[in-house]
Every structure is written in C-alpha cells, then in structure tokens.
Structure 1
Amino acid sequence: MSAFATERNISLAEPGDFFALLKPRVMSLVVFTAITGLLMSPVTVNPALGFIAILSIALGAGAAGALNMWYDADIDAVMSRTAKRPVPAGRVTPEAALAFGTAMACLSVMLLGLAVNWFAAGLLAFTIFFYAVIYTMWLKRWTPQNIVIGGAAGAFPPMVGWAAATGGVSVESVTLFLIIFLWTPPHFWALAMFKMRDYGAAGVPMLPNVAGEAATRFQILLYSLILVPVGVAPSLLGFAGPIYGAVSVLLGANFLRLAWKTYRMADGDPKMLPARKLFGFSILYLFALFAVLLAGAVATRLGFPGVV
C-alpha cells in the first residue's frame, strides 16, 4: 500500500480481497455441514426457503471470518500462515474489514429471521458473536483452551441448518454439534504442534506453547478417544444407516491410529510427521462423516430411508 493510501486510510482492495475476508474454505465447510443439518431434519423445506437459509448461514460465516481478520490483523501479520491475508498485507483497511463484517452479520441474521424463522436467526447471531467476540477477542489470546471452548462456533452450523427447518433443536442436531466440537481440538492442536514458532511469535497461548508438546499429545489422544464413539453415535442412535456405521468405525479406527502415533512422537521431532498426518486426515474424517450423513439424508428424501 502506498504512503498516500495509508495516510488517507483508503482501501486498495479488489473484489477478490473481500472474498478472502470471508474465509472461503471455512465457509465451504460451514455451508456443507449446515446443508447436512437442514436435509437430515424430519421437515421438508421449501427449496427457495432452504436456499435462503443456507445463503444466510454462508453470509454469517463470512461475516464472522471478516470480523476475525479485522481484530486479529496484528497477530496475523506475524504468522507465516496468515501474513498474506488482506488486512495485514495492507490490501484492505481495518475499517473496511470491520464495516464489511458488521454489515454482512446484520444482513445474514435479518434475512434468516425474516425469510425462515427467528429461532434459527438467533442461533446464527449467537454463532457470529461467539466466534467474533468470545473466541477471537477473548479466548484466543487468553487461554490455551481457546480451541476447546471456541470450537463451539464451528460446531453450530448443522444446528442452525436443523433449526432453519424445524424451528428448534433435537438429539440429532446436538449430536452433529458434538462431532464437530470434539473434532476441533485434535485437529487444531495437531496443526499447532508444527506451527509452534508462529503461535509463539504472535503471543497466542496455544496448548503446545503453554503446556508443552507431551501434554498436547496426551490431550490430542484423549479427545480422539472421546470423538470416535461420538462419530459413530448417529448410527447407534438410529438416524444414520449401516453404511454410515461402517464408514465411521473405519475412519475412527484410523483417526485413533494416527492420534496414538502422534502421542508416541518424541519431543522436539523436527518433522512432526505423525502430527502432520493426523491434521491432514482429520479434514478427510470430518468431511467423509458429513458426506455420508448428507447422502443418507438425500436417500431418505428419495424414498430409501435407512440405507446409508
């Protein structure tokens, strides 16, 4: 950014920079899990209203991402993984990011409330607030348990999708919430294991930097042991079929294998291959579980319940 632009506080952003503020990869996961929650519900939603609901949830996720980038610009500038984001790179001014995120948040909640129902809109508003304020402004810089508590923000979208269809919550939607909630710590702590220097330089109290590698590896294993049975729960509770049950058991077994290898990893391992492999597989694990759940929901609506 030029000195003139800096002094005048002018944004030199292109449309792609504002799109990047939405954290599109995170948004895609939010949309995917929200669609799963919406279609798994026992209520048939008008396609137009279903589209508006998912659009609203996507806009809300993007708003939370933009507000996160606005507030975290100082630490994003220090970390190699985030230094090229639009605000720390100087392509979008902090004021523009804040205004953009706030406007998107208001639009998403009002659209969902007016077009679908206010319970889902309230849950979406709480999700945005939780991520942007509770997690970003408070937990992230205050406690090494930031990911554990803050992970709730990423776990709400399937509940919002379910609420958009039904106007409430249920055992099914809470189970979907718990899968993502329990998945978040081992997923992000595996990343934090090989990004310790970045988090240390930024002053973010991630668990490996505060409690050490051994304690982090133990916590990864512990949460993995809790996650895997919960991942199988949709089949055990009867709202997913035998294919989901088999897939969740096989994926869960490999998740535990990689978590065990990460637990057995030596302190100071320069490559941290087990943690890297666990991080990569954890993405596949969550995507596959929700993909099979979504396939089962579609099969049910086509007249083939209990197959997937």
Structure 2
Amino acid sequence: MKTAVRTTIRTGVLSQALEDFKQLTKVGLAVSVVFSSVAGYFLGAAAIDYRVLLLLMIGGYFTVGASNAYNQIIERDLDALMQRTRNRPIPSGRMSVNTAFVIATVCAALGITMLYLVNPKTAMFGAISIFLYTSVYTPLKTRTPLSVFVGAFPGAIPFMLGWVAATGKFGIEPGTLFMVQFFWQFPHFWAIGWLLYDDYKKAGYYMLPTGKKDRATALQVIMYVIWMIVVSVFPVTGLTGELRLSVAGAVIVALLGLGMLYFAVKLYQDKDNASARKLMLASVAYITLLQIVYVADKYLGG
C-alpha cells in the first residue's frame, strides 16, 4: 500500500513538473513557431535533410521556450495581477525564480547549440530572437504600445529561419517570408490586445496602438491586414528569387487574406470583443493555411 502511495505521489509530482515546464515554455506557442520554421525549411530546401530538420525543430522549440521562460521571470509580479496568467508556475508559487532561470538558460544554450549545428546564421538569428524578445520587447510592454512593433521582429523570424536553415543564406527569399509574418503580427496581437484589454490593463500593458479600443485602432488593423495580403501574394510576381508562388497559389492566399480582412472590417464596424475574438482566430488560421499553401504550391504545383 505504501509503495503504491509513493508511486502515485511520484507520478503526480512528475506530471505537475512536466505541466509546469510546458506552461513555462508556452508549449502551444512554441509548437506553432516550430511549424513556421519547418514550413520555411521545406520552402528553402532543395532536398530534405532529416537531421537538419530535427535539429531545427528541437532547437527551435528550446529557443522559443527560453524566450518565454525569461519573459515569465521578468513579468512574474505582473502575471500575478492578471486572471489569465496568475496560475503560471512562478506567480502561483509552484516554481522558484531560480529554478525557472536555470530552465530558461539551459533551454537557451541547447537551442542555440542545436541551431548552430544546422549552420551559424540560423544560430545567430535564434540568439537575436531571444535577445529582442526578452531584453527589448518585454520591458517595453508596460511603457509604450510600440512594443508590438518591436515584438514583431522576433515574432517574424521563425518563418524565414527555416529558409536560412535549409540554405545557410539570407536574401530576398527569407526576407520576404520575414515580411509576411512581420505584417501578420500586428492584426494578430492587436486582436488579442483588444480581447484581453481589461486584463492587460491590470498589469499596465497597453498593447493597442492608440491605447484604446476605438475606431483608430481598428483602422490600423485594417491597414496592416492589407499590407499583409500584398506581401503574401508578392512572390507571384517572380521578383523574390527562388521563392515562387503560382497564380493559383496566389489566388488562394489572396482569398485567405480577404477572409481575414472581412473580420478586420467587422471589428471596425462593431468594436466589440466578439469581433476581436473572430479576428484573432482568423489570423491564426490565416498564417497556418498560408504556410501550407506555400509549401504545397512548391511541391505540388511544379
């Protein structure tokens, strides 16, 4: 009986530790970032090297996980103020700051090392991403709405990182992938900022461009969605080097973009949380489907 109890306790402790690690590294976000990197890799690769792909996936997860963990260490007191984040490992008291720091540092070291084994440029961009996210974006969140602009840089790196991992080069192709995800960041995060406005306000975060849930914010959302659509279909022109998009692929991407634009316009018209939630979900669907279309267009479109 005692052995069974000990086993149950040990299993429970390990299960909670794993759950805390997943929360600290934000597993859902990290997996979506890895997905973007893999899509970029498939776009850039002349032939699939599964060793490189595995290093990119695991190294990418650790790199993003490190950024998220450092972020939660820095923002632990603010996280305790918000309903959405107060049960995270550090503010809840389940994990000490020292333990979180060790996890973050180990993740950073492993991530950058694995990306270096892919090639030095990939590791460099991974390290830049960690630095910008933790040392620039995070401190600015309580100071200025421009933090979203700064945060869009590390947020846009993953898609182009895959291309750099595949080729070892940075040029017009990964630059275009970067710009696609860069412009996408604004409507995505402003939709989240609108939806979580009251909770963010408790911690002093003002993520919306005007600081308010108003038409001026919604108008900027529409403008960035339009720029996102333009950049996303631009490879059909043939001016983006080896990154190409067929006419059929461009039409599909444009239709996806117009769908997202519809929800942006609805936010402008209704100015409510329901519209913001729909735009946020549409933005997640858009970037995922766009990456799938890009890859499918390369391998199936000839």
- Asked if these proteins are the same fold (TM beyond 0.5), I'd say yes
1:87-114 alpha-carbon deviations (Å, 9 max, x no partner): 112211111111111111011112221x
Deviation at 1:13, TM superposition (A): 5.7
Name the residue aligned to 1:128: 130
Choose the corresponding residue for 2:254, options 249, 256, 264.
249
Deviation at 1:143, TM superposition (A): 1.1
Name the residue aligned to 1:264: 269
CA distance in 1, matches of 2:159, 2:208: 27
Unpaired segments ≥5 residues, structure 1: 1-11
CA distance in 2, matches of 1:212, 1:48: 47
Give yes or no for contact 1:196–1:209 (8 Å, CA) kept in 2.
no
Deviation at 1:215, TM superposition (A): 2.2
Q: Is 2:279 aligned against 1:275?
A: no
1:214-233 alpha-carbon deviations (Å, 9 max, x no partner): 22112111111211111222
Secondary structure at the aligned position of 1:264 is classed as helix
1:172-220 alpha-carbon deviations (Å, 9 max, x no partner): 2111111111111111111211221111111112226725522211211
Secondary structure at the aligned position of 1:101 is classed as helix
Name the residue aligned to 2:74: 71
1:139-218 alignment, distance < 5 Å: 139-207=140-208, 210-218=211-219
CA distance in 2, matches of 1:119, 1:263: 41
CA distance in 2, matches of 1:58, 1:66: 12
Choose the corresponding residue for 1:33, options 26, 32, 36.
36
Unpaired segments ≥5 residues, structure 2: 1-14
Name the residue aligned to 1:7: none
What is the letter of the counterpart of residue 185 of structure 2? T
1:94-148 alpha-carbon deviations (Å, 9 max, x no partner): 11111111111011112221x2211111111111111111111x22122111112
CA distance in 2, matches of 1:240, 1:139: 37
Percentage of pairs with the same residue = 33
Q: TM-score, normalised by structure 1?
A: 0.86
Deviation at 1:64, TM superposition (A): 0.9
From the superposition, tell whether residues 95 and 284 of structure 1 become closer, same or farther in structure 2 (CA, over 3 Å): same
Q: TM-score, normalised by structure 2?
A: 0.88
Deviation at 1:278, TM superposition (A): 1.0
CA distance in 2, matches of 1:36, 1:17: 28
From the superposition, tell whether residues 110 and 250 of structure 1 become closer, same or farther in structure 2 (CA, over 3 Å): same
CA distance in 2, matches of 1:63, 1:295: 31
What is the letter of the counterpart of residue 133 of structure 1? S
1:256-308 alpha-carbon deviations (Å, 9 max, x no partner): 11111111225xx4xx32222111111111111011122234x2xxxx5x34x
Deviation at 1:235, TM superposition (A): 2.9
Give yes or no for contact 1:13–1:91 (8 Å, CA) kept in 2.
no
User: Which consecutive segments of 4 or more residues in structure 1 shift more than 6 A?
Assistant: none
What is the letter of the counterpart of residue 38 of structure 1? Y
Give yes or no for contact 2:58–2:114 (8 Å, CA) kept in 1.
no
Secondary structure at the aligned position of 1:255 is classed as helix
Q: Is 2:223 aligned against 1:227?
A: no
Deviation at 1:170, TM superposition (A): 2.1
From the superposition, tell whether residues 14 and 42 of structure 1 become closer, same or farther in structure 2 (CA, over 3 Å): closer
Q: Is 2:285 aligned against 1:284?
A: yes
CA distance in 2, matches of 1:131, 1:17: 21
CA distance in 1, matches of 2:79, 2:218: 25
Choose the corresponding residue for 1:20, options 10, 20, 23.
23
Name the residue aligned to 1:107: 110
What is the letter of the counterpart of residue 275 of structure 1? A
